[in-house]
Structure 1
């Protein structure tokens, strides 16, 4: 069957129940009775013809008389048993789509019939029972299948013959008798062409509906003729005809069923659904591909689910990288999908949002090119979800941009989902901090207690971020960090801006005046070990959010476009999960943009520009850290909300760091000379390392922590970091006159 003549998916299957199952069974029983009578009469007629003409080779199809050497010779007159021979009147069940049959017209035939009124009455009565059962509403499964896949009446009867072997195994004896050989106790195309009414050789061709839709499978041994090879019905088709409706297992391994759409969608997404349904209503026979663009896969899937539900279609998601690269395998997949779409019916959401869809999957073939091939060959109602517009397809397509819910839409969704419990949570904080879709909001509200909604939102974002960045446990507070007053004040301001976004942006209306930069971005600059990471932990703990740390040096890639994709995935996941994003080693990507001298410089600048743009559109709290502020591009610094300096601690701050480095229950803590330790030129991170190592030295000796333990650990820390070591700085007690002590 040519591609242009493939039938469009039919209307949704009517609701089935016990009554339909009973009528479907009656139809199959009547159809098998009709087939038994037809095959028995054909076998009797064939036996009589062989008695007159002599023995024949049962493995060869009837193609005319043969000479003594066994070579075929052209017959003077076509034999009645040949599919292309003389037509006789054999009762056939009426069909509304077949020509030349019906209640007022002679029935069609392609087989010999026994003489005598009794035989004809028996076959006519069986055909009448089939016609009566076929007229049931809703129609039997085999009738629906034939209508939706465009089968002729002869092709439907061939399929019935193949189904008979599975439904009624005892019919093997009839097949053997009809073939005239016990070795052929199965259906064959040759038998169908010879015995069934209105035979057509097109049904046996690879482009015929039976083989095109893979309704039947031909087991053709090497050297065997096509018409004598066993023909079996596909297992999925056998189950469908018997009333079992499920997705073909060859497809179920590749897809997941998308959940039903929420009862109410935001107005912005309702408009996107309307554009999808309008596109399909304008061309119901050949629905165009609906390309859904935007940065939120969840929003696009919700829109697709709502649009599919409008047409009574079940929606399945297929990741683009799962498409087979081999052309034959891709073609088989297309035919199976189109067949399932007609039988169930269903719609497909082809997910190309994963940034890996541009990666090679075989030779030079990419998942993106496979998407184009698949959709160009398929006629299934389909959505294509991608972040940006997909290349042009060889099939009509409609582009629909899907935007995430706004703050007010998220807030309204939370109120509806929580119902009477809405007063127990801060709706504004939830809507402002977590950029979730309506479906995700419904799921969290249903599965969480009102007092645990915030924690459930935080946990939901971890699944996407855990594979992209390192999650740090923010278990420190303001009392655990020692910083200059100015640095401490800036950190407090950052926390206040994150928690007060709803008031300023939404209640006071500043969001309408700003087109970008609604998130809070900060740069933490200072030497290593001065508390930048710890300050980020304090902020995350204060806000009740997860903290994820990622090194920008690890995000960078030598392959063109990969750095931008890595950053996109990271920012999207952090924004949806409401996490605090801590990007370390910012100087690796945000160094001063260089003059373009070659392709390497050009793409390095593109990476920097992308990060700047992504920072401006980010709605959460993003913190960058660097040890070399002077190396950063001034354009980057201007676009940040805060720049927080972390200086090396002075003597006063070092004394406080030493005090907090030893827990209250540590033995010997009170006897330590903190003024003496403050003279050591150490950072906060070094202080913590020295305190832990000193504690282990004391525990090994079975004594409290003493100054010699601390100074010994400090000497080892200095040597580890290759800092200059002067022995008198680590002596205890500290010499009062270093010069005299040295001379002595």
Structure 2
């Protein structure tokens, strides 16, 4: 092709580009013949304003010519020879393992020889800007510098009245349905509409596999790789997982069965996963093993796209251009809203291998073709550690048990990789070697933010040393932490809770009077596991309208499934109350709420703590579904003495006259009341500008009694009765 010289000529040594240029040169010969033929019949070849107006002479010539039912140019006898020579060179390049992209494009998009010719005609202005002027001349309009449908058919030697030829440019034909050709200016007559090849298609034919900018934000980048990288064949894709070679076995499950199905013609599969599931990694590994590149699509971003249908069309074209399969997750993002179901159908109808990943049950109405339904395994603790260590950029200290630290966290392979990078950044910020709290902080950083709108998040700041409880209560709390840490082994690997669709959740009831340490104990459990504490706000749950409370609770449980945390239902008797005999509609709907909660608690996969002051008000059916019921009694004298020391510790220095033994023996207060007294005494001390005195303490106890509505008896205050206000 004479127009492509210099750098383009040197690049033509590549078999794919050489084949494209050879075929473009054939089109150039036809354009040259068409221009020459036009010049021979041009009545005013020297007209400087050609294409800008129509003279009377031109109008009469057009009228005399009659309808144009002939081709612009007919195939020349030399065309067949040049075509055979070009295809022979392409055969030699492919024999030398240098595949040609134009041939692959024609095969993958099922293009006919005529389709290829039309594509090349529309492509020429993007390869050589001279053709803008040629086409402007042939269109008899210098402002129309792209080939029209009529001109393209004429250059192919076809009549514009040929119905079969015109059909190759219809919206359902491969060129347009595949997104390879745009027919613009729809308001013009069919033969006058301009043809254009999208920039992404041109770039692909020239050897560039950079993803279309329109969809880059919709793709999920993998660790150590961009969102799109070289994949199988001429395709592109991400690897099987974060830092994992395609098909590698690091606990994400065996991709071989799914890969075998994809390789033998299965084009749609759905992997249903639980929290911490390896669905996306397993799907990517299977698609790669089946010989395709991988495009990992974030359906959350697709759902928020201004034009999701167009985004899916471009994603599909990208996959077909690069011989890739689509791994789309999470499907839940498209099923939450009824107006997005058409997008689900569009995703399931793409002509490329597609694996969907999500947590929702499959609905047969989502697709005209039945998918292969599979279950994606959860990443078990030992596998989490292996994936985390692989993703961590530095050697892990030998004394650090990553398996133990990560055991309470349910994370996907992608989340594990991001958590490892976050831990590395935190350790660098601290200027310290990697420690367990760095790993936990990195894992917590992967929590979704949705639950923050429905519950109050607390980053734990207390430890086991801060608890003052009876030995048995303390031991039960340790057991609860152990259950949360080892639930994957006991309930998953050992299968100790089979059947019934029950989850791997751990649920406990903390029962006791106000101020006995229930909320603080939940915070200690969260701190021991390295999790955040989420306290459910009853204001976001209770609703006077029938059915709304169940919806609110479902939102909480659904959001909690996406985080690693301890879910605390304070004042749980308000929503987990007893079912009663049905006397009216109110009783009936109250029982429905309790029945819903009974079912939902069984399928919950997280760690939930119910705290109540009124254990007797809870339905007995809840008790059976609880893993532990822990009673929090009022502290005895020894425990109260320890609580006085613990609560007053920040202000004790400089204080010498406090009789804490007397306070512990004489005043039967809970831990919460003692802390409140200590805070009041601290305020009194700050106001007087002196250390805390026994007078401050007696005054604070008196105020606490008044808050509790208890009588201030002189006998209780003994020798300090004179200090009463």
CA drift of 1:134 comes to: 4.1
Superposed, 1:300-315 pairs within 5 Å as 300-310=279-289, 311-315=291-295
Range 418-427 or range 225-234, more displaced: 418-427
8 Å Cα contact 2:695-2:723 kept in structure 1: no
Structure 2 CA distance for aligned equivalents of residues 478 and 145 of structure 1: 65
The structure-2 alpha-carbon separation of the partners of 1:685 and 1:73, relative to structure 1 and needing over 3 Å to count, comes to same
**1:247 and 2:206 correspond:** no
8 Å Cα contact 1:667-1:705 kept in structure 2: no
Quick one: which of 394, 398, 407 aligns to 2:372? 398
CA drift of 1:237 comes to: 1.6
Quick one: which of 148, 173, 180 aligns to 1:208? 173
Structure 2 CA distance for aligned equivalents of residues 69 and 420 of structure 1: 83
8 Å Cα contact 2:115-2:175 kept in structure 1: yes
CA drift of 1:630 comes to: 0.8
Structure 2 CA distance for aligned equivalents of residues 471 and 687 of structure 1: 25
**1:225 and 2:205 correspond:** no
Structure 2 CA distance for aligned equivalents of residues 153 and 44 of structure 1: 25
Superposed, 1:492-511 pairs within 5 Å as 492-494=478-480, 511=494
Highest CA radius of gyration, 1 or 2?
1
Q: Which residue of 1 aligns with 2:469?
A: 483
Structure 2 CA distance for aligned equivalents of residues 182 and 265 of structure 1: 59
Range 262-271 or range 647-656, more displaced: 262-271
CA drift of 1:177 comes to: 2.8
CA drift of 1:255 comes to: 2.9
Superposed, 1:602-641 pairs within 5 Å as 603-614=592-603, 622-641=608-627
The structure-2 alpha-carbon separation of the partners of 1:645 and 1:453, relative to structure 1 and needing over 3 Å to count, comes to closer
8 Å Cα contact 1:711-1:730 kept in structure 2: no
Structure 1 CA distance for aligned equivalents of residues 189 and 347 of structure 2: 36
User: SS of the counterpart of 1:250?
Assistant: coil
The structure-2 alpha-carbon separation of the partners of 1:174 and 1:301, relative to structure 1 and needing over 3 Å to count, comes to same
**1:710 and 2:692 correspond:** no
Q: Which residue of 1 aligns with 2:575?
A: 589
CA drift of 1:420 comes to: 9.9
**1:546 and 2:546 correspond:** no
The structure-2 alpha-carbon separation of the partners of 1:293 and 1:730, relative to structure 1 and needing over 3 Å to count, comes to same
Structure 2 CA distance for aligned equivalents of residues 72 and 728 of structure 1: 125
8 Å Cα contact 1:375-1:395 kept in structure 2: no
CA drift of 1:69 comes to: 11
Superposed, 1:263-282 pairs within 5 Å as 263=245, 270-271=253-254, 273-282=255-264
8 Å Cα contact 1:583-1:623 kept in structure 2: yes
CA drift of 1:632 comes to: 0.8
Structure 1 CA distance for aligned equivalents of residues 303 and 486 of structure 2: 46
Q: Which residue of 2 aligns with 1:290?
A: 269
Quick one: which of 445, 459, 463 aligns to 2:446? 463
8 Å Cα contact 1:266-1:405 kept in structure 2: no
Q: Which residue of 2 aligns with 1:98?
A: none
The structure-2 alpha-carbon separation of the partners of 1:409 and 1:704, relative to structure 1 and needing over 3 Å to count, comes to closer
Range 595-604 or range 151-160, more displaced: 595-604
User: SS of the counterpart of 2:218?
Assistant: coil
Quick one: which of 521, 534, 537 aligns to 2:520? 534
Quick one: which of 185, 199, 202 aligns to 1:235? 199
Q: Which residue of 2 aligns with 1:316?
A: 296
Q: Which residue of 2 aligns with 1:187?
A: 147
8 Å Cα contact 2:303-2:334 kept in structure 1: no
Structure 1 CA distance for aligned equivalents of residues 158 and 202 of structure 2: 24
8 Å Cα contact 1:149-1:339 kept in structure 2: no
8 Å Cα contact 1:90-1:197 kept in structure 2: no
Pairwise CA RMSD: 4.6
The structure-2 alpha-carbon separation of the partners of 1:318 and 1:232, relative to structure 1 and needing over 3 Å to count, comes to same
The structure-2 alpha-carbon separation of the partners of 1:664 and 1:294, relative to structure 1 and needing over 3 Å to count, comes to closer
Superposed, 1:162-177 pairs within 5 Å as 162-177=122-137
Structure 2 CA distance for aligned equivalents of residues 554 and 308 of structure 1: 46
CA drift of 1:686 comes to: 2.9
Quick one: which of 93, 101, 106 aligns to 1:141? 101
Range 311-320 or range 448-457, more displaced: 448-457
The structure-2 alpha-carbon separation of the partners of 1:184 and 1:387, relative to structure 1 and needing over 3 Å to count, comes to closer
User: SS of the counterpart of 1:394?
Assistant: coil
User: SS of the counterpart of 2:473?
Assistant: helix
Range 638-647 or range 729-738, more displaced: 729-738
Q: TM-score, normalised by structure 1?
A: 0.74
Structure 1 CA distance for aligned equivalents of residues 61 and 285 of structure 2: 70
CA drift of 1:305 comes to: 0.9
Structure 2 CA distance for aligned equivalents of residues 638 and 265 of structure 1: 42
The structure-2 alpha-carbon separation of the partners of 1:280 and 1:566, relative to structure 1 and needing over 3 Å to count, comes to same
The Cα offsets for residues 515-553 of structure 1, whole Å up to 9 and x where unpaired, read as 479776432111222211222334445x45334132273
CA drift of 1:662 comes to: 1.4
User: SS of the counterpart of 2:649?
Assistant: coil
User: SS of the counterpart of 2:709?
Assistant: coil
Structure 1 CA distance for aligned equivalents of residues 486 and 148 of structure 2: 76
Structure 2 CA distance for aligned equivalents of residues 181 and 510 of structure 1: 74
CA drift of 1:312 comes to: 2.4
8 Å Cα contact 1:288-1:396 kept in structure 2: no
User: SS of the counterpart of 2:209?
Assistant: coil
The structure-2 alpha-carbon separation of the partners of 1:318 and 1:29, relative to structure 1 and needing over 3 Å to count, comes to same
8 Å Cα contact 1:323-1:370 kept in structure 2: no
CA drift of 1:705 comes to: 1.8
Structure 1 CA distance for aligned equivalents of residues 137 and 634 of structure 2: 98
Superposed, 1:25-424 pairs within 5 Å as 25-51=17-43, 80-81=70-71, 88-91=74-77, 93=79, 102=80, 130-131=86-87, 134-135=90-91, 136-137=93-94, 138-198=98-158, 200-220=165-185, 224-258=188-222, 260-261=239-240, 262-263=244-245, 270-271=253-254, 273-283=255-265, 287-296=266-275, 298-310=277-289, 311-319=291-299, 322-323=302-303, 329=307, 331-354=309-332, 357-360=334-337, 365-367=338-340, 369-392=341-364, 393-405=367-379, 424=399
User: SS of the counterpart of 2:677?
Assistant: helix
CA drift of 1:191 comes to: 1.9
User: SS of the counterpart of 1:662?
Assistant: helix
8 Å Cα contact 1:712-1:730 kept in structure 2: no
The structure-2 alpha-carbon separation of the partners of 1:603 and 1:556, relative to structure 1 and needing over 3 Å to count, comes to farther
8 Å Cα contact 2:526-2:532 kept in structure 1: yes
Structure 1 CA distance for aligned equivalents of residues 22 and 643 of structure 2: 91
CA drift of 1:24 comes to: 4.1
The Cα offsets for residues 678-723 of structure 1, whole Å up to 9 and x where unpaired, read as 445543223223323332332233222223433444555556x463
Aligned pair count reads 658
8 Å Cα contact 2:659-2:694 kept in structure 1: yes
The structure-2 alpha-carbon separation of the partners of 1:555 and 1:276, relative to structure 1 and needing over 3 Å to count, comes to farther
8 Å Cα contact 1:297-1:385 kept in structure 2: no
CA drift of 1:301 comes to: 0.8
CA drift of 1:22 comes to: 3.7
The structure-2 alpha-carbon separation of the partners of 1:483 and 1:466, relative to structure 1 and needing over 3 Å to count, comes to farther
8 Å Cα contact 2:148-2:191 kept in structure 1: yes
CA drift of 1:605 comes to: 3.1
